[in-house]
Each structure stands twice: as structure tokens, then as C-alpha cells.
Amino acid sequence: MFLNPSKKREEAGFGAWCQRSYWLALVLMLSLMGASGCAREDDLLPGDPLLKGDDSSRPVADWRSVKDPHDTFSSDAKVETHSLLQEEMARESHPADGAGRAWLEVPQAEDGTRPVLFAGSSARFVIGFEAGPLGIAQGGAVFLQISPFWGWDMPQAVDASMPGYTVVSSEVEGLELGPYLADSLLLAIPMEGRGLLPGEQLRIEYGAGALGARVDEYAGGEARLWIAVDGDGDGTRKILKDSPSVDIRAQTPSRLQVTWPSTAAPGDVVRLSIAVLDVLGNAGVDVKMDLQFEGPPAGLELPAAVQLEEGDNGILSLNVKVTQEGTYQLRLRGQGDFQHVAGESNPLLVGESLPRLCWADLHGHSGLSDGTGTPEDYYRYARDVSALDVSALTDHDHWGMRFLDSSPDLWARIEKANRSFHEPDRFVTLLAYEWTSWLYGHRHILYFSDEGEVLSSVEPDFESPDLLWGALQGKPALTFAHHSAGGPVSTDWSFAPDPILEPVTEIVSVHGSSEAMDSPDRIYNPLPGNFVRDVLDHGYRLGFIGSGDSHDGHPGLTHIAAPDNTGGLAAIFCDALTRPAVLSALRKRATYATNGPRIWLRMQIDDVFMGGVLSADLIQTGPQALIYDVVGTGPVKSIELVRAGAVVGKIEGEGRQSLVGKVEIPRMQPGEYLYLRVVQEDGGAAWSSPVFAE
């Protein structure tokens, strides 16, 4: 029978049933990530759990005055969200929940795998569903869950003239179907009149109207149309982990991503990476295209033009020999019909004895949690498009449609991808995940080996930072805090970071900057007194990194789809491109952060490099020399000196792209710190790790 979308819901308790059954979809919506990042407060619905956090009897205190940190949470802790997650973990499911099978009848793939659709296009989907061996009881339900991320049209059963219109039908006699939009995420299909017997089927047509249903704006594999089942009607549902999926392909060519290393010595051969992207930064634009260098500088051995062939998947790399010292940037442009497709490289500094700089994005998500694409897509983009040196996929421990902490198959897949893409001296991958605590703030766990455990933030043994660090003691692992000054939830800094396991902190990401209240592109929902600068004032020693928090499949280029947004990168001075060398550099705080662009930044005080400590015997009298070396991706607006909690000086950029110099500063006193903040005219920014005084 066909649906009757106007049928009145008169069954007693149906509203409460919906509310209990759909809470997980609600909190997923609250984590909504578009090109601009996570949902901000004005994106949330009135009464949503993430707007709350004061319902706990445990006190919430100013971290700076805490004596017993175990008596506090983050000042903006989302206690209700944590409680809901705990409640769901404790709830027992019926054997009929999550049973059955679903398949995609329309569209179909010619090769028998997954259908391929273009990003942002509209389509009609016909999903078949067959009840499992226990059937579905009267009062039970089947659910269609369309991703709340990246522009998919939500299913609705009311208006055939609008996108996402959905029709449900069945040939089963006596079965009444009245699809019901439980909220903006889920279409519930309750079994009325009778239930479904084993093997009986439904037909779900999503995008049945003239406008169809729009799909993901971002390219990636295995985009799911989730089907879930509440088999006994008690309000608890489970998803079918093999729900139907489609692959999303990039649109037409729009830009070039041109990347090479930041440093080299005369005579070195460096890798130049070129990728054709669509307007939203999606890769995989398979096109034949001639490319020409515009005004190539002397001092490089490279061809005048290069060609992309069909089958290259829009990806090309070539070796370039550098013969002379200097600073180089390259610009490439398509020819013929593709003259609008162009891109400019980051600066390459060529000189003797320059340190090796590795670029990393240590934080991002795939479709296994609340991102898009597969783990393989993620690492492929990081390596071939962003041309990162180091990459970590950090899907959530307990957030998304399926959870890593209860889905060994997902973690095994991440481990496999991590191993297969790891190539020392070319591309270092780190096994990682996001410890998604709504009580103490989000942290990232990085393993510098092929194996590691998911120590879940909702498990009592690992639910606080000190318990987490205790479990990681002696392992080749690191942690770092994310969006620590605000955003969806801030960091509880009453837990002093473990000096071995947490030597650095993420100062900027797609959420904005957690550096200080006066920071450019400051994080949303900021908590005064909870910024990284406040942490330094409290005596903590932390180096700085940036991270993307990419959810759209663009690790290393999180800002590319929306230039008005910030991104984040970690610049790491490494002796070698290996896991041990990266771990050593992070522990030495030999790092700096940018909000996306590959700005070159060196800073030292006397002979102490950024991240280092001036020993007591060096803290005497008289001025000290602060040495800086900055090359921007564009004109630099200013270099600011931040010392012991305040901006104490500024070097004007005056439109220059390169600034090198030495200034005298009053000698640093015990307990002080100093770092540089670089701001470009285009909004790009970089932060050196501090130099600390004993």
C-alpha cells in the first residue's frame, strides 16, 4: 500500500517513542559539519542537548583555581549529551533490531559495484528492503536515514513538488504504511495494521518527485543511504551496517592545487604535485589537459609544459631539480578550453643547511564517523592532492552512525589503510582517533606504530584525561587538545597535560583559533580564560600545531571549499620523514601552526629554537637576540611578539612577502614565554611555538 502522509498519528505514546528512538540522530545533527565546520550555536535547535550543560550536580569551576580536577568538567560541558550516550550504551536491543537486508534498485552500477553520481547532482533512489528472520512486529518500524552532512536533501513524505519527496510501498496485504518525518534527519516507517513477516519486503523511493534528491556536495566513496530497524517496537533501533551506498564523483575542472616542499638545498630534486580540482576542492577530475608554467624562474630545471592524460585521475607529479639558492613559487595554467584552471604553489626556499620542514594534518574525519568518503579516499587526498608529509585520520571513538569503540571492523579498516599508505621518506601515516569527550573536551590520540587501541571517552576506565594518559603510558603515542577555548565544547585545563604524552596543542582549526581572545579568526563560543595563552600563563609548556578537522574529504586543505573559513596545518621540523622522527620532533615542540597556508616561519632566542627552554644559567642580565625568518604565501601584514600573556611588539610587513631580521628584547625572566604571531594581508596566519624560560 502507498503511504498516506497526512494520516494523523493517534497512537498513544507515539511522540515519546519517536523522541526516545531518534535522540542519536538529533545529536548527530548537532555535530553538523559543512564547509564552514561544526555547527555553531545559532545552527542548533532550541532545547537541543548541546545547548545545555548545567544539568549536572557536579560543579563546573574555573580551571585555574581548581584543587581537585576530578570534581569538575569543562565549563561548557555537554553533560546531557554524555548522559544520552551512556543511556544508549546501556540499552539492550531486541534480536530483530537491525535485522534484514536492503539494496539499491535504482540507480544501478553497470559493473555491479556501486552507482556513481556527480557531487551536488540530483537523483532518484529506489531502495528495496526485506525483513529478517524474526520479521518486524506491529508497532515496529523501518527508518530511512539520509546523511545530515554536505547538502543531501532530507527525505520528506508531504510535498511531491519539493526535493527529497519519498514514497514507500509494499505488496503485503493488511500492512498500512504512514511514513513520518520524526525530525529533520529521519523518516520513520511504522508498521501499522500488521507487522512484516520474515522475507516480506518494502519499496522505498527517495527523490520520487520531479526535483529528485540532491546528493553529497563532496566527492568520496561509499556514501550511505542508511536503513535502520526497530524490530519489536520498543523505540530502540539498529542500523544495517551494509546499508546501500553510492560513490560521489567530482564535478568539472575549476582550479589547480600545486604543491612542493618548503625547503631544499641547491642540487636537490624535489617532487612537484599537481592536482585538478572542482569548485569545491574535490579531486578525481579525470580529464585530458595541457598545462603551462607561467614565467618559470631561473634556477629550476623543469619543462615548459606538462600534460594530464585521461586515466591520470587529475593527478600528476614530476621531479624538479633546483640549482640556485633563492625563494621560488610556480604558477600553472591550463590551455585551450581550460585557461580558467590555474594554481600557484607554496614558496620553496632553497639554501644550504636549511632544516627539513614536514607539513602535517593530524586531525580529520571520513564517512566512518561524521565525515565523507572512505579512509582510503582520505589518505589518497592527503598524499596526492594536499601533498602532505604526515597525515592522521581521526574518526570519533563514540560519535557518528557507527562507533569505532563498538565496531571492530571499522577500526580494522582504518588500521589497514594506515598500514597500506605508510611509506617512510615519502608519506607518513599515523593511526589515530578522536577521543570525543563531551565532559572534558575533545582530544586526539596518535599512535606511532601500526597498532593501537580505541580507548573510549565513554568507558569508565578512560573517561577523563588522567585515566587516558595512564592507559597510554609507555606507548609510542601522543595526545593533543582540540578547539580548546570554545566551539562545541572546550578543554578542561584543570588536568595538566602530561609532559611526555601531550607536548603540543592544536591552536587553530576549521573551528577558528584557540590562541587568545585577540587572535585573528577567534573560535566561536569562546570561553574567556580558557585560551591557550591562558594555559601558558598558568605555567604549562605546550608547542603549537594547527589541524584541519576536515569532514569534507580535504585533509590538508580544509579551507579550500570555503576561503572565508580557517583551516589548520602543523609544520614540523623533522630530521627525517619517519614515524620515530616525527614523534621526536613533536615531543621537542619543534613545531608551528598555520591556519591553512604553507607560511615559512623560523624563530629563536639566542641559540634556543622555538619550542625550546632557556636554561637557568642562560637567564642573566642584558638584552637577548630574537631572530626571525618569515616567508608568506602572500604579503605579510605584521609579525607580533607575544610575551608572558600580552602582545609586546609588532614588526610591520609593509607589503613584503619575506621578512628576515634580528631584534633585541629585554632578557626573559624565569617562567616567561615568547612566541611570534604572523598575519598576512589575506588573513593567513602562523604561530611559532613559544620559547620558554626556566
Classify residue 41: in a domain, yes or no: no
Classify residue 56: in a domain, yes or no: no
Count of structural domains within the chain:
4
Residue 650 C-alpha cell reads as 609588532
- Give the burial string for 121-134 (b: 16+ CB within 10 Å, else e): ebbbbbbbbebbeb
Classify residue 36: in a domain, yes or no: no
What is the per-residue pLDDT for 60?
Answer: 39
Classify residue 545: in a domain, yes or no: yes
What is the per-residue pLDDT for 70?
Answer: 54
Classify residue 424: in a domain, yes or no: yes
**Alpha-carbon span 188 to 159, nearest angstrom:** 16
Q: What is the CA radius of gyration of the chain?
A: 27
Residue 302 C-alpha cell reads as 623543469
Classify residue 66: in a domain, yes or no: no
Q: Are residues 530 and 435 in the same domain?
A: yes
Residues 6+ positions from 187 with CB-CB distance below 8 Å: 143, 144, 145, 146, 155, 156, 157, 166, 179, 180, 181
Q: Are residues 180 and 236 in the same domain?
A: yes
Q: Are residues 101 and 177 in the same domain?
A: yes
What is the per-residue pLDDT for 113?
Answer: 79
Q: Are residues 532 and 494 in the same domain?
A: yes
What is the per-residue pLDDT for 33?
Answer: 33
Residue 443 vs residues 225, 359, 488, 504, 651: alpha-carbon distances, Å = 30, 20, 13, 11, 34
CATH number of the domain that residue 312 is part of: 2.60.40.10
Q: Measure the N-to-C terminal CA separation of the chain; round to a whole number of Å.
A: 77
What is the per-residue pLDDT for 35?
Answer: 32
What is the per-residue pLDDT for 47?
Answer: 28
Residue 335 vs residues 251, 290, 315: alpha-carbon distances, Å = 19, 6, 17
Residue 575 C-alpha cell reads as 630530521
State the 10-residue block means of pLDDT for the chain, 694 residues long.
Answer: 29 31 38 33 28 32 45 89 90 94 91 88 97 97 89 94 97 94 87 96 97 96 96 94 95 97 97 97 95 94 93 95 97 97 98 96 96 97 98 96 95 98 98 97 98 96 97 97 96 96 97 96 96 97 97 93 84 97 98 98 97 80 93 98 97 96 95 98 97 96
CATH number of the domain that residue 152 is part of: 2.60.40
| Nearest of 479, 362, 454 to residue 400 by alpha carbon | 454
Classify residue 576: in a domain, yes or no: yes
What is the per-residue pLDDT for 48?
Answer: 29
Q: Which of 246, 281, 313 is the last residue of a domain?
A: 246
DSSP per residue over 61-95, as a string? --GGG-S-GGG---TT--HHHHHHHHHHHHPPPPT
Q: Do 589 and 543 meet the contact criterion of CB atoms below 8 Å apart?
A: yes
Q: Are residues 363 and 432 in the same domain?
A: yes
Q: Are residues 159 and 141 in the same domain?
A: yes
Q: Are residues 378 and 402 in the same domain?
A: yes
Residue listed under C-alpha cell 546501556: 90
What is the per-residue pLDDT for 11?
Answer: 33
Other residues' Cβ atoms within 10 Å of the Cβ of residue 343 = 19
Q: For residue range 103-140, list pLDDT tens digits in order.
A: 999 998 877 679 999 999 999 999 999 999 999 999 99
| Phi, psi angle pair for 588, to nearest 5° | -85, -5
Q: Do 537 and 530 meet the contact criterion of CB atoms below 8 Å apart?
A: no
**Alpha-carbon span 236 to 22, nearest angstrom:** 9
Q: Are residues 338 and 414 in the same domain?
A: no
Q: Are residues 469 and 505 in the same domain?
A: yes
DSSP per residue over 138-150, as a string? TT-EEEEEE-SST
Q: Are residues 287 and 304 in the same domain?
A: yes
**Alpha-carbon span 405 to 403, nearest angstrom:** 5
The domain in which residue 301 lies consists of 255-350
Classify residue 73: in a domain, yes or no: no
Q: Are residues 326 and 433 in the same domain?
A: no
Other residues' Cβ atoms within 10 Å of the Cβ of residue 406 = 14
**Alpha-carbon span 320 to 322, nearest angstrom:** 6
Q: Which of 217, 246, 275 is the last residue of a domain?
A: 246
What is the per-residue pLDDT for 619?
Answer: 52
CATH number of the domain that residue 417 is part of: 3.20.20.140
| Phi, psi angle pair for 27, to nearest 5° | -70, -30
Q: Which of 246, 264, 280 is the last residue of a domain?
A: 246
Q: Are residues 479 and 593 in the same domain?
A: yes
What is the per-residue pLDDT for 620?
Answer: 64
